[in-house]
Amino acid sequence: MATPAASSAPLIEKHTIGYVPPEDRHGKVRDLFTLWFGGNIAPLPIVTGALGVQLFHLNLVWGIVAILVGHLVGGVLMALHSAQGPQMGIPQMIQSRAQFGSLGALLVVLIAGLMYIGFFASNIVLAGKSLHGVVDSVPVPVGIVIGAVGSGIIGIIGYRFIHVLNRIGTWVLGIGIVVGFGYIFTHIQTDDFLTRGSFNLSGWLATVSLAALWQIAFAPYVSDYSRYLPADVKVSSTFWTTYLGSALGSSLAFIFGAVAVLATPVGMDTMDAVKMATGSIGPLMLVLFLLSVISHNALNLYGAVLSLITLVQTFAYRWIPTAKSRAVISTIVLLACCFAAVGASKDFIGHFVDMVLVLLVVLVPWTAINLIDFYAIHKGKYDIQSIFQVDGGIYGRYNPQALLAYAIGIAVQIPFMNTPLYVGPVSAHINGADLSWLVGLLVTSPLYFWLANRDTSYRRRMMGGKLASSL
C-alpha cells in the first residue's frame, strides 16, 4: 500500500523520534520483507550461526534444527513489535514510556542503546575482516574505519535510503547465498562434513537461544522501520512480511555459517572458512558480505542514535531533534565505536558471545511487557501527547507494575543462566543448558498482565477514550 507522500518523501529523514503525521506516511508493506531478508544476510549472522558447530559441537542436522527453531520462535516476538509501527507512528523506545513511565523507561532505552552500539562495533569488525580478506594489503583496522564510515553515511540519511538499499540487497544477496550454498555442497573439503559433532542438549539449547536472541534483539527498533507506513495497513500484513523476511534471511545466513565451517578444517576463523569453502567465488562472496554488513550495520547505528536522542529528550523535552542533530550524534557514536572495535577485533567471537548472552537476560522481560501492554492491555490505543511530555502525562514518570515485573523477569532467569560470568544452579544441573530466556518469557508475561489489571489508577480512568492518539 502506498500513499501520495511516497513520491515526495525526502531522502534524508527529518522526523527522528517524533510522531509521523498521516501526510508524511509512505512506503509499501512488502518493503518490510526486503528490509529484514536482505539485512540479515550478512557476516555477523553467519559468524553467529557457525557457533552451533564451533563452540557447541553440534553436527549439521541438529545445528540446522536448532537454528530453525530459534528463529521461528523468536521471529514471532520480533514481528509482533513490527506490527506496532503503523498504528503508533513513533519509535519503539519512545513508546516504552507508555509502559514504564517517562523516567522508568530510561533503563530499557539505555540498554537498547548500548546493545546497538555493541552490535555496530561487532559488525564493523567483520567489515574490516571481510575487506582484508578481499584485499590483503588493507589492514583490518583500516577496513573497520571504512566499514564504519559507509554505515554512518547510510544511517545519517535514514529511513528511506535504508529501505531502498535493502530492496536491492534482497535480490543480490539472495542469489549470492544460493550460489554460495551450491558451490560449497559441490566442493566439500572435509571427510567429516556430516559426522563432525553430535547432539548434546546444552549445545542445542544454546544454539536455539542464540537464534531466538538474534530475532528478539531487533525488538527495540523493528517498528522504527514500519512507523512510516499508513496507519490503515493491516496488522497481519505487517506481521507476516516482517516475520517471513527476518526468519528466512537470518536462517539462511546462520545455516550458511555452519555449513562453511563444517566444509573446512577444524579451527578456522568463520570468515576465512567462508572464503576457503567458496573457492573461486570466495572473493565475490566476501565483497557481497562486505556491502551487506555496511548496509545492515546502518540499522544498528540508526537504532543506537534514536535511543540516545530519546534519553536526551527525556530531560530536554522542549528540544526538537532534527536531521542535523541525528547526524552529529551519529558521528560521535561512529568514532567511539571505531576505537572500541579496533581494540576488540583480536578476540571478536569471545566478546560477541559474552555480549549476546547478557543481552538475552535483559531483553526478554522488556519484550514480554511491551507486547502484553500493547496487545492485551491497551489494544494499540495510546495517548501520543502524554508519551512526549516530561512528566509522562497519563503514564506518569514511573509505572511500578512494569518496573516490578521487569525486575522479577530478570531475577527469575538467574538460576537458569549459563554465561561466561555466571552459571546458575539449574543450568549446571542440566549440563549447562540455558533456559533463562524461556523462563523469563513465561514468568514476565502473565505477571505483568496480572499486575496491570490490578492497577486502578489513571490507566483505568483513561480507558474510556482518551487513549486514542490525540495528534
Q: What is the pLDDT of residue 165?
A: 77
- Burial-class residue 265 by CB neighbours within 10 Å (0-12, 13-18, 19+): exposed
The mean-pLDDT minimum among 90-99, 163-172, 191-200, 345-354 falls in 345-354
Mean pLDDT, residues 281-303 taken together: 81
Q: CB within 8 A of 172, min separation 6: which ones?
A: 288
DSSP assigned state of 113: H
User: Is residue 16 in a domain?
Assistant: yes
Secondary element (H or E) of residue 207 = helix 201-216
- pLDDT band at 471; cut points 50, 70, 90: very low
The mean-pLDDT minimum among 48-57, 189-198, 414-423 falls in 414-423
Mean pLDDT, residues 302-320 taken together: 79
Tell me which residue of 201, 203, 202 sits closest to 53, measured CA to CA.
Answer: 203
Q: In sequence order, what DSSP letters do the residues of 335-369 get, joined into one string?
A: HHHHHHHHHHGGGHHHHHHHHHHHHHHHHHHHHHH
Residue 403 CA to residue 172 CA, distance in Å, equals 44
Tell me which residue of 414, 401, 330 sits closest to 120, measured CA to CA.
Answer: 330
User: Is residue 286 in a domain?
Assistant: yes
Give phi and psi for 418, each to the nearest 5.
-145, 90
User: Is residue 445 in a domain?
Assistant: no
- pLDDT band at 242; cut points 50, 70, 90: very high
Mean pLDDT, residues 257-283 taken together: 88
- Per-residue pLDDT for 34 more than 50? yes
Residue 176 CA to residue 174 CA, distance in Å, equals 5
The mean-pLDDT minimum among 154-158, 204-208, 459-463 falls in 459-463
Residue 99 CA to residue 105 CA, distance in Å, equals 8
Q: In sequence order, what DSSP letters do the residues of 22-87 get, joined into one string?
A: GGG----THHHHHHHHHTTSSHHHHHHHHHHHHTS---HHHHHHHHHHHHHHHHHHHHHHHTTHHH
Coil, strand or helix: which one is 206?
A: helix
Percent of the chain at pLDDT > 90 equals 28
- In this structure, what C-alpha cell is assigned to residue 92? 519503539
- Per-residue pLDDT for 230 more than 50? yes
- Per-residue pLDDT for 11 more than 70? no
Q: What is the pLDDT of residue 441?
A: 94
DSSP assigned state of 415: G
- Per-residue pLDDT for 103 more than 80? yes
- Per-residue pLDDT for 406 more than 90? yes
Residue 326 CA to residue 323 CA, distance in Å, equals 5
Give phi and psi for 417, each to the nearest 5.
-75, 150
Residue 422 CA to residue 114 CA, distance in Å, equals 21
User: Is residue 192 in a domain?
Assistant: yes
- Per-residue pLDDT for 444 more than 70? yes
Q: CB within 8 A of 428, min separation 6: which ones?
A: 418
- Per-residue pLDDT for 282 more than 50? yes
Domain containing residue 269: CATH number:
1.10.4160.10
Percent of the chain at pLDDT > 70 equals 88
User: Is residue 420 in a domain?
Assistant: no
Q: Which residue has the higher pLDDT, 189 or 397?
A: 397
- Burial-class residue 61 by CB neighbours within 10 Å (0-12, 13-18, 19+): exposed
Tell me which residue of 92, 95, 90 sits closest to 15, measured CA to CA.
Answer: 90
- In this structure, what C-alpha cell is assigned to residue 363? 531483553
User: Is residue 132 in a domain?
Assistant: yes
Residue 244 CA to residue 65 CA, distance in Å, equals 17
Give phi and psi for 386, each to the nearest 5.
-65, -35
Q: State the residue range of the domain holding 30.
A: 9-347
pLDDT digits (tens, 9 = 90+) for 383-401: 988 888 888 888 889 899 9
Phi-psi region of 45 (alpha: psi -120 to 50; beta: other; left: phi over 0): alpha
Q: Which residue has the higher pLDDT, 409 or 145?
A: 409
Give the distance, in angstroms, between the CA of residue 470 and the centroid of all CA atoms in the same chain: 30
User: Is residue 359 in a domain?
Assistant: no
Q: What is the pLDDT of residue 423?
A: 84
User: Is residue 248 in a domain?
Assistant: yes
- pLDDT band at 206; cut points 50, 70, 90: confident
- pLDDT band at 158; cut points 50, 70, 90: low
Residue 268 CA to residue 54 CA, distance in Å, equals 9
Dihedral angle, C-alpha 292, 350, 355, 158, nearest 10 °: -20
Phi-psi region of 27 (alpha: psi -120 to 50; beta: other; left: phi over 0): left
Q: What is the pLDDT of residue 249?
A: 93
Burial code of 304-343, b = ≥16 C-beta within 10 A, e = fewer? Answer: bbbbbbbbebbeeeeeebebebbbebbeebbeebbebbbe
pTM score of the predicted model: 0.84
Q: What is the pLDDT of residue 157?
A: 74
Q: What is the pLDDT of residue 1?
A: 45
Q: What is the pLDDT of residue 464?
A: 41
- Per-residue pLDDT for 267 more than 80? yes
- Per-residue pLDDT for 90 more than 70? yes
Domain total in the chain? 1
As beta bridge partners, residue 418 has 423
pLDDT digits (tens, 9 = 90+) for 334-374: 888 787 777 665 665 566 656 666 777 888 999 999 999 99
DSSP assigned state of 418: B
Q: What is the pLDDT of residue 84?
A: 93
Average pLDDT value over all residues in the chain: 83
Mean pLDDT, residues 446-463 taken together: 71
Residue 73 CA to residue 460 CA, distance in Å, equals 33
